[in-house]
């Protein structure tokens, strides 16, 4: 059983479609999506499939993947099989040079080593794939008149700040550029500058989104982000073990809220501009998220000291809460607060394992 067989998740998709006005503007358009089987990208694809099913929008999804059979299997259980014909699978690897033989109106670039274990163990691959990946797509867009490229960046670009106020898009804190753990954040910063530079020099239109800490049932088991790790512990009936006091403040955002935010910025965002993705109803600490998961899953929350290896993967930011006003000014609103999101994540994943 997959999450697409879950009534809760399908109902969440329908609810998101019914409350996202910008979807109509994408009717008949084609969207090339990288990272389409990941935590963020798969939620976007699910949402577009549901929009096609409910609204008959005929949006073409060009799904890029290193493993096409794996990508195909991710969406096979979508209830409306008729809309699966709107997905075309394209061989793609962000770490390599690709032959891009397609025509797209829009591009969403969500492919990246996005969880701590991956970019701690492979910092070189992380940097190269982040920078070269977006460069290749911007170069393609320059020659093929793409309407807009949306680059999925990260809240980690902000670095450390002394206050606990949410980051606005124009605020940047300290980032240790000689710490390999920051290969992810540093290359995301560079990639954002590359987007702005292609607009300045060549007129290539692109927008940047900086998601907070995204969580939800679209996470895979190998995702080492704490929100994903907690969810799978609870789904397996295991206690949550927190490796710190959990006081770090985060902008948590349910995967489908992130998906609607991405499509809102893709449709309405200004070129060479960054937008935080943050639901103001879900700015909580790591401990508070763990408590929500533990309560929903009827498991215990325990505390333990981290190993040195575990510490090396930790996000160094005590505060990575984000100010979402700029995104909300485009008309976006979060639909799932942290309590609802955690509850639905646990219920969907538990059902998927039956």
Cα separation, 180 vs 321, whole angstroms? 23
Residue written as tokens 């994943």?
349
Burial readout 84-108 (b: 16 or more C-beta within 10 A, e: otherwise): eebbebbebebbeebebeeebbbbb
Q: Yes or no: say if 317 and 286 are a contact pair by the CB < 8 Å rule.
A: no
Q: Yes or no: say if 9 and 348 are a contact pair by the CB < 8 Å rule.
A: yes
Query: What token pair was written down for 210?
Result: 């900086």
Homologous superfamily, domain 3-214+254-281+321-336? NAD(P)-binding Rossmann-like Domain (3.40.50.720)
- DSSP at 5: G
Give 300's Cβ-side CA count (13 Å radius): 3
The conformational region for residue 284 under phi > 0 = left, psi -120 to 50 = alpha, else beta, is beta
pTM listed for this prediction: 0.95
State whether residue 131 is helix, strand or coil: helix
Burial of 56: CB neighbours in 10 Å, binned 0-12, 13-18, 19+: exposed
Burial of 353: CB neighbours in 10 Å, binned 0-12, 13-18, 19+: exposed
Q: What's the maximum distance between 2 C-alpha atoms anywhere in the chain? A: 55
Give the start-to-end residue ranges of the domains of the chain: 3-214+254-281+321-336
pLDDT digits (tens, 9 = 90+) for 289-304: 999 999 999 999 998 8
Cα separation, 275 vs 265, whole angstroms? 8
Residue written as tokens 């910025």?
265
Q: Residue 223 has what pLDDT?
A: 84
pLDDT digits (tens, 9 = 90+) for 122-146: 999 999 999 999 999 999 999 999 9
**For residue 210, what are the β-bridge partners?**
276
pLDDT digits (tens, 9 = 90+) for 13-45: 999 999 999 999 999 999 999 999 999 999 999
Cα separation, 313 vs 80, whole angstroms? 40
Residue written as tokens 């807009």?
148
> Taking the chain (354 residues) in consecutive chunks of 10 residues, what is each chunk's mean pLDDT?
94 98 98 96 98 98 96 97 98 93 96 81 92 97 96 96 93 94 95 98 98 94 86 93 89 97 98 97 95 94 76 73 97 97 95 67
The conformational region for residue 181 under phi > 0 = left, psi -120 to 50 = alpha, else beta, is alpha
């Amino acid at each position: 059983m997959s999450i697409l067989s879950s009534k809760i998740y399908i109902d969440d998709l329908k609810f998101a479609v019914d409350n996202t006005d910008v979807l109509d503007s994408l009717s008949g358009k084609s969207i090339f999506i990288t990272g389409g089987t990941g935590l963020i990208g798969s939620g976007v694809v699910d949402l577009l499939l549901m929009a096609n099913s409910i609204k008959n929008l005929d949006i073409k999804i060009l799904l890029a993947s290193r493993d096409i059979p794996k990508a195909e299997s991710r969406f096979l259980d979508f209830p409306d099989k008729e809309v699966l014909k709107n997905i075309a699978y394209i061989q793609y690897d962000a770490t390599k040079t690709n032959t891009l033989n397609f025509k797209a109106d829009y591009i969403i670039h969500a492919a990246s080593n996005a969880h701590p274990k991956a970019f701690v163990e492979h910092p070189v691959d992380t940097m190269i794939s982040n920078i070269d990946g977006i460069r290749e797509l911007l170069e393609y867009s320059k020659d093929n008149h793409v309407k807009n490229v949306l680059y999925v960046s990260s809240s980690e670009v902000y670095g450390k700040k002394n206050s606990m106020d949410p980051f606005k898009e124009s605020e940047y804190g300290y980032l240790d550029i000689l710490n390999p753990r920051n290969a992810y954040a540093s290359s995301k910063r560079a990639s954002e500058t590359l987007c702005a530079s292609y607009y300045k020099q060549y007129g290539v239109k692109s927008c940047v989104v900086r998601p907070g800490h995204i969580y939800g049932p679209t996470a895979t088991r190998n995702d080492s982000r704490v929100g994903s790790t907690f969810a799978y512990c609870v789904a397996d009936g295991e206690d949550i073990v927190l490796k710190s006091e959990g006081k770090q403040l985060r902008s948590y955002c349910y995967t489908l809220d992130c998906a609607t935010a991405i499509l809102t910025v893709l449709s309405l965002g200004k070129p060479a501009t960054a937008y935080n993705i943050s639901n103001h109803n879900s700015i909580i600490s790591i401990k508070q998220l763990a408590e929500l998961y533990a309560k929903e899953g009827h498991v215990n929350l325990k505390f333990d000291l981290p190993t040195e290896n575990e510490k090396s993967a930790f996000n160094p930011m005590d505060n990575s809460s984000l100010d979402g006003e700029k995104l909300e000014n485009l008309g976006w609103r979060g639909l799932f607060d942290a309590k609802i999101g955690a509850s639905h994540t646990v219920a969907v994943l538990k059902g998927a394992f039956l």
